[in-house]
Structure formats: C-alpha cells, structure tokens
Amino acid sequence: MNKVRQINALINGENYQNGKWVDIISPTTNEVIGQVPALTKKEIDDCYQVAAKAQKSWATTPLLERIAVLNKWKELMVEYQEEIANLIVLEIAKGKTAAVTEVTRTIDYIEYTFEEMKRMHPRTYTGDSWGIANKMGIFQYVPKGVVLAISPFNYPVNLSIAKIIPALVAGNSVVFKPASQGSLVGLFLAQLANVAKIPAGVFNAVSGKGSEIGDILVENPLINVISFTGSTAVGTGIAQKSLRTDLILEMGGKDPAIVLADADLELTATKIIKGAFSYSGQRCTAIKRVLVDQKVKQALVKLLVEKVNKLKVGNPEDDCDVTPVINEKTVKYIKGLINDASKKGAKILTGNKFEKNLIYPTLVDNVNQSMALAWEEPFGPVLPIISFTNVDEAIKIANASQYALQAAIFTTNINSAMTIAHALDTGTVNINDQTQRGPDLFPFMGVKDSGLGVQGIHDALISFLRPKGIVFNWSDKKENK
C-alpha cells in the first residue's frame, strides 16, 4: 500500500495548511493515497487579496526578470520530472510513458511561451487613415490583473501550466485551483514554484472541496480572468456565477472521426484507435464517435477490432494504454451508456468487461441516433460506430452534437476533405489524423458547449493581456516650435 502523502497549499509564499484535509483516492485501488488542505472561505478571500496586491509590482518587473524567475521554476520541473511523472501515474492512473510525455511536452510549452512573450510588441496606428493629421497611438500589451486558473484531472501538469505560465509571464498574478484528483501533483508544482522564489503572492495554489469552495473561488470581485478546463456543466456554472470577468473555457467534446469510402483504412484504423483509447479515452479531444460510410464499414470494423485487441490493458505502473478510469462514478455512467445502447439493438464487438475502475476497451457497432452513446461524452474507453449512406448525412450527424471541439476526416480525396472541413462547425478539423490539441502552439478552441475563448501559446498570452493605448498629438505650426 502507498503511504498517504500530504502536500500543502501555497498562499503568499508560504506552505499553508489549516489542519483540515481532503482525501485523494487512487483510481487503481480506490484507496486514499494522499491529502491536500481543505481551505475555507476566509483563506480563499485572503489569497485573492494578496494576489491582487502582489500583481502590482510583478506587472512592473521587467519582462526578462519575470522570465528568469519563471525559468528557475521550469528548471526545477526538469530536475524533478521523474517524481512529477510518478505522481501523475499514482494520482490519475496515466501510463508511465504518457505521464513522462506530459511533463516533457509541458517543459517545451514553457520555453516557447517565454519566446512568444518577448515578441508581443505594441501596435502603432496613425490618424492619417481616418483623415486626422498629427495623431499617433501606441497600443502596448499590459496584464489584466488576477487570473484564476482551474485545471482538470486528465492533464494535471500540462493543462495547469498552459494556463499559469502565460498568465504569469504576461505580468498577471495567479490563483491556481487544481482538480481534486490532480491536486497532489498540482500542489507539488507549487512547492517547486516556491523554491524558485517566485515573489510571494504572485503565484498561489489552493485546494479544497469543490462543494465548499467552488462558488467562493469564482465569485470573488478581485478576479480579472478565469481560465478553466473541465466539464461543460461546471464551466457553464462558472460562466453564470462569475462577475464581469473574462472567461476562457475548455469543456466537453464528442469529436467524430468521419471515414469516407476512399479512405486509407489501415491508417484510419490506427489513428482512430490511438485517438479513442489513449489514456483510456479521458481526453477532451479523444475521438468519441466513428461515422463511417456503410460501404467500408465491415472492412474498417475488422481492422478496429484487430487493433483494439492489441492494446495493453491494466495498471498504469505497467505502462498500459488502457488503465483504470478516474473514479467509480465514471464506471457507473459508462456501464449505463453501454447497457442503453445494447438494449436498443447495438452490437458490442469488444470489451464491456469491468474490474474495479478498469474498463476494457469497448467497440460498439450499429449505434443509432436514438442511443445516448451517440451523443453523450463517456470520458472512458468506449467507442460507438455509426454508419452513413452519404456525406451530407455524415455532416448532419456530426453537426447535430451539442459539442463542437474537433473533428477528423479520413479520405484520400482532397476535394472531399476540404468541402466537409468547411461544413463542420467544430473549432478544428484534422484531415487524415486523429483529433488532438497538440502541437501545443496551435490555437485550441471549442464552440457551442465545447468552449469559449482560445488557448494555444499566442492566443493564451492574448487572453491574459489587454491593449493599453497612449496617443500622441502634435502641431506642425511654426509658432509652436
């Protein structure tokens, strides 16, 4: 049995706890593996006060000095990358290789963000093009103030740092709230930030029970920006409760893989299996439905079954592809979706086997639009297959979802690919590849119930900055010289 590890919060440069704790449960064993502080309203309110105060001097700290301090934090992440990856494995049951990739990808993200920030030069306009002489405005980028960063369980390092670093390097202060499952590694990163000597109050990390501090966190009037990744239900609640705050919300998805009759089926099946089952399908960008031309359905299904049977299923410590899902609630939900589809005539091709939180990768054929599995986001290793008879029908089914994060199109015909890509209402369309956020510099955005605002390195910086104009006026008259 693992020992129970306690990690403190970080408020105003101090390792903080108040004697009350939230348990962190292992998805693999369902046992308590750690604890993080259960903070209260007063402590959260105080945290915003110190963040707002510290931001003033951080904003006027020269950019290269800000980068130098943040770079020390990054170097500590490099030094401790093995420990960080092991915490990810322990806390959210991600396979070891994927956990290590998450950390190295994050280090690359930080370095690129520093470089991008150096190039956020002011914009200059003249009044000339508006028929006004002797007027020139310089619009420089200034920080917005206090950022609340709320990260999800599934990428507890990457999706935390992808909010925190652009916010901080841009001169904002941050209050960071990791997902409960993901708090151990989130607060561990905060401990490293403190070792790096990020000035007190500039970066704070808090934890607690969502039911007790959720509203308090988002309703504080000192917040200027909320950057959130998580479920559509929670993100929508934040949008309703927040007060005159800029919002960046990355929420659910039901990304389709649309397979045309002329697709390279070997490539398509490989990409679909990776896109659907990596980290057990617990990615907002996972492929969550296959829409396939009925002419090639049998051939595709055969390949999918072959490939799914080669996936390594088991514990994250054994570096498996499919590992236990995050909690028992998710298992129950997925069982319900599979049973509903099965009762309504769907055919289960593989999987539908459960051992505690481990769900064997499940392919479900003959799914139709009457089944919840066609529309709901399982956030687990289950993939419905829906057939279509013509491309218009495929586009209609794809666009009928409440979600519109990404889509994939598999075809060897560039004309079909471009026509369908333009007809889909998702944030991004991938041609002949799985749906995915990376490479992390790309703009990343969902529409409809999938999100609001844009991430990716340049756009993340833009979302934490506002233009501040200084306008020069002058006269040509000699007597004024």
Distance CA 84, CA 348 (A): 38
Q: Looking at 102, 284, 320, 376, which residue is catalytic?
A: 284
Please, are residues 429 and 394 in contact by the beta-carbon 8 Å criterion?
no
Q: How far is the CB of 44 from ligand G3P (least distance, A)?
A: 26
Q: How far is the CB of 438 from ligand G3P (least distance, A)?
A: 3
Q: How far is the CB of 72 from ligand G3P (least distance, A)?
A: 26
Q: Which is nearer to ligand G3P, 52 or 189 (CB)?
A: 189
Who contacts 407 (Cβ-Cβ below 8 Å, separation ≥6)? 255, 256, 257, 258, 398, 424, 426, 428, 429, 430, 435
Spatial strand order of the sheet with 451-452 comes to 14-16, 9-11, 203-205, 173-177, 146-150, 225-229, 246-250, 451-452
- The stretch near ligand G3P (CB under 6 A) out of 41-49, 153-161, 295-303, 326-334 is 153-161
Q: How far is the CB of 105 from ligand G3P (least distance, A)?
A: 8
Asked about 14 being catalytic, the answer comes back as: no
163 is a site residue for ligand G3P (CB under 6 A) = no
Q: Which is nearer to ligand G3P, 338 or 408 (CB)?
A: 408
94 is a site residue for ligand G3P (CB under 6 A) = no
Distance CA 458, CA 113 (A): 8
405 is a site residue for ligand G3P (CB under 6 A) = no
Q: How many residues bind ligand G3P (CB under 6 A)?
A: 9
Q: How far is the CB of 437 from ligand G3P (least distance, A)?
A: 4
159 is a site residue for ligand G3P (CB under 6 A) = yes
Who contacts 210 (Cβ-Cβ below 8 Å, separation ≥6)? 180
Please, are residues 435 and 407 in contact by the beta-carbon 8 Å criterion?
yes
Distance CA 373, CA 378 (A): 8
Among 154, 172, 352, 387, binds ligand G3P (CB under 6 A): 154
Q: Which is nearer to ligand G3P, 314 or 438 (CB)?
A: 438
Distance CA 152, CA 254 (A): 17
Q: Which is nearer to ligand G3P, 275 or 361 (CB)?
A: 275
Q: Which is nearer to ligand G3P, 43 or 440 (CB)?
A: 440
Q: Report the site for ligand G3P in 280-309 (rule: CB under 6 A).
A: 283-285
Please, are residues 40 and 18 in contact by the beta-carbon 8 Å criterion?
yes
Q: How far is the CB of 200 from ligand G3P (least distance, A)?
A: 31
Q: Which is nearer to ligand G3P, 281 or 351 (CB)?
A: 281
Q: Which is nearer to ligand G3P, 59 or 441 (CB)?
A: 441
State which amino acid sits at residue 87.
L
Q: Which is nearer to ligand G3P, 37 or 451 (CB)?
A: 451
164 is a site residue for ligand G3P (CB under 6 A) = no
Please, are residues 248 and 227 in contact by the beta-carbon 8 Å criterion?
yes
Q: Which of 104, 98, 86, 12 is nearest to 52 (CA)?
A: 12
Who contacts 444 (Cβ-Cβ below 8 Å, separation ≥6)? 250, 427, 428, 437, 454, 455, 456, 459
How many Cβ atoms from other residues are within 10 Å of residue 352's Cβ? 18
- Could you give the string, one character per residue 424-443, with x where binding to ligand G3P holds by CB under 6 A and - elsewhere? ------------xxx-----
Q: Report the site for ligand G3P in 58-77 (rule: CB under 6 A).
A: none
Q: How far is the CB of 230 from ligand G3P (least distance, A)?
A: 10
Asked about 284 being catalytic, the answer comes back as: yes
155 is a site residue for ligand G3P (CB under 6 A) = yes
Q: Which is nearer to ligand G3P, 285 or 463 (CB)?
A: 285
109 is a site residue for ligand G3P (CB under 6 A) = no
Who contacts 312 (Cβ-Cβ below 8 Å, separation ≥6)? 318, 319, 320, 321, 322
Q: Which of 131, 30, 60, 135 is nearest to 474 (CA)?
A: 135
Please, are residues 282 and 248 in contact by the beta-carbon 8 Å criterion?
no
Distance CA 363, CA 381 (A): 9
Q: How far is the CB of 179 from ligand G3P (least distance, A)?
A: 12
Q: Looking at 102, 250, 376, 377, which residue is catalytic?
A: 250
Q: How far is the CB of 164 from ligand G3P (least distance, A)?
A: 15
Catalytic positions: 250, 284
Please report, as ranges, the residues that interact with ligand G3P according to CB under 6 A. 154-155, 159, 283-285, 436-438
